């Protein structure tokens, strides 16, 4: 399976690392693309334990370890790993955000610092513990309060931060893997996107046609190579 993802390919999202990161069933789903029945939204008793720093796949680029743990916990609830397969965790959406906050999304770095601090203060007051330590039902309740803009302590407000993280989580889950998200194409597989093809026939634009997925970054194509400079492509 071609899996070239350019200079910033997800660094070895190996079976072993995935097991460490999301647990056995989630990793099986991420790798096989099948939906394991054992992981469902209803059957999640406890939060995924926050990663210890030595377990991260690579060093953080801008987020602190505490911020990264909180962000991982948030994206895991926005697009959960469940009966429908891997989610934002396996896509490595938080990794995408961490990296992008040093580049194209750097203007949002302050909003993340403030928002990730505020979410713990609110989680503590509303649910009695820091966000990452809450059970998933309580995490969902906190996020729902943010979305409804009734959670307090955010600047300018909770909904703004919620929408920011949601937007970036979607980007990190469904983007070209060159940017460090959509690892193993889990986002594209989820919604049935058949991938980037350079030639599309009329037959392939018929409604009932299911073209075989192409799992390849745009930058795997020699036309768009990064050799000779990143050409403005700072992820």
Partner 1 sequence: MAIDLKKTDVVIVGLGAVGGVAALPLARAGADVIGLEAGTWLSPRDFAPDELRNNFRGWPQSAQKANGEIPTHRPNASAPYSPRLPIHPMMNAVGGTSLHYWAQSWRLNPWDFKVVSETTRRYGAARIPKGSTVEDWPFGLEELEPYYDKVEYEVGISGQAGNVNGAIDKRGNIFEGPRARDYPMPALTGTEFTDRMAATARKLGWHPFPGPAAVNSQYYDNRPACLYHGFCNRGGCHIDAKNSTAVSTIPKALATGRLKVVTQAIVTSVAVDERSGRVRGVVYLKGGEEYLQPADVVLLAGYTYENVRLLLLSKSKPFPHGLANNSGQVGRHYITHHTGATLAALFPFDLNNWYGLPAQGVAVDNWADDNFDHSGLDFIGGGNLWVYSDRRPIGAASMSTFSKAPTWGSNWKAFIKENADRWNLAYLQKTTLPYEDNVLDLDPTVKAALGFPVIRITADHKDNEKKLGAFIQDKMAQWFMEAGAIAVERGPQGTMGPSTHAYGGTRMGDNRETNVVDRYGFSHEVPNLGVLGASVMGTSGAHNPTLTAQALAWRTAEHLSKNWRAIAN
Residue whose CB is less far from partner 1, 122 or 162: 162
Strands (DSSP E) contained in 27-162 are none
Whole-angstrom CA distances from 86 to 27, 128, 133, 188, 197 are 8, 29, 22, 11, 24
d(CA 103, CA 110): 13
Binding residue (CB under 8 A) for partner 1 from 82, 98, 120, 145: 82
What letter would DSSP give residue 82?
Answer: B
Instruction: Name the minimum Å distance from CB 31 to partner 1.
Output: 18
What letter would DSSP give residue 85?
Answer: B
Binding residue (CB under 8 A) for partner 1 from 179, 183, 186, 215: 179
Q: What are phi and psi of 64, to 5 degrees?
A: -75, 165
Residue whose CB is less far from partner 1, 46 or 191: 191
Residue whose CB is less far from partner 1, 75 or 132: 75
- Residue 98 tokens read as 């961490």
Site map (CB under 8 A) of partner 1, residues 187-226, x = contact: xx-xxxxx-xxxxxxx-xxxxxx--------xx-x-xxx-
* HSE-CB for 60 with a 13 A CA cutoff: 19
Which residues make Cβ contacts (< 8 Å) with residue 39, sequence separation at least 6? 23, 25, 26, 29, 81, 82, 83
Residue whose CB is less far from partner 1, 54 or 222: 222
Binding residue (CB under 8 A) for partner 1 from 132, 174, 186, 215: 174
Does the footprint of partner 1 cover residue 166 (CB under 8 A)? Answer: yes
Residue whose CB is less far from partner 1, 100 or 116: 100
Binding residue (CB under 8 A) for partner 1 from 77, 95, 99, 215: 77
Q: What are phi and psi of 71, to 5 degrees?
A: -65, -40
Site residues for partner 1 per CB under 8 A: 40-41, 77-80, 82-84, 87, 104, 140, 143, 147, 166-167, 170-171, 173-176, 178-179, 182, 187-188, 190-194, 196-202, 204-209, 218-219, 221, 223-225, 231-234
């Amino acid at each position: 399976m071609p899996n070239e993802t350019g200079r910033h390919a997800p660094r070895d999202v190996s079976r072993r690392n995935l097991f460490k990161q999301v647990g056995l069933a989630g990793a099986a789903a991420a790798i096989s693309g099948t939906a394991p029945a054992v992981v469902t939204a209803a059957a999640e008793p406890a939060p995924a334990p926050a990663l210890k720093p030595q377990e991260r796949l690579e060093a953080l680029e801008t987020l602190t370890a505490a911020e990264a743990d909180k962000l991982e916990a948030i994206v895991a609830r926005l697009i959960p790993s469940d009966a429908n397969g891997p989610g934002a965790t396996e896509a490595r959406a938080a990794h995408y955000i961490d990296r992008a906050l040093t580049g194209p999304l750097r203007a949002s770095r302050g909003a993340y610092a403030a928002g990730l601090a505020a979410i713990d203060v609110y989680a503590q007051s509303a649910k009695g513990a820091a966000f990452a330590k809450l059970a998933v039902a309580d995490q969902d309740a906190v996020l729902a309060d943010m979305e409804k803009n009734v959670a307090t302590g955010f600047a300018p407000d909770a909904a703004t931060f919620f929408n920011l993280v949601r937007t970036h989580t979607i980007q990190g889950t469904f983007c070209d893997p060159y940017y460090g998200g959509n690892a193993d194409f889990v986002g594209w597989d989820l919604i049935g996107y058949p991938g980037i093809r350079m030639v599309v026939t009329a037959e392939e634009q018929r409604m009932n046609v299911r073209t075989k997925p192409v799992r390849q970054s745009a930058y795997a194509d020699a036309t768009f190579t990064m050799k000779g400079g990143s050409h403005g492509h700072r992820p």
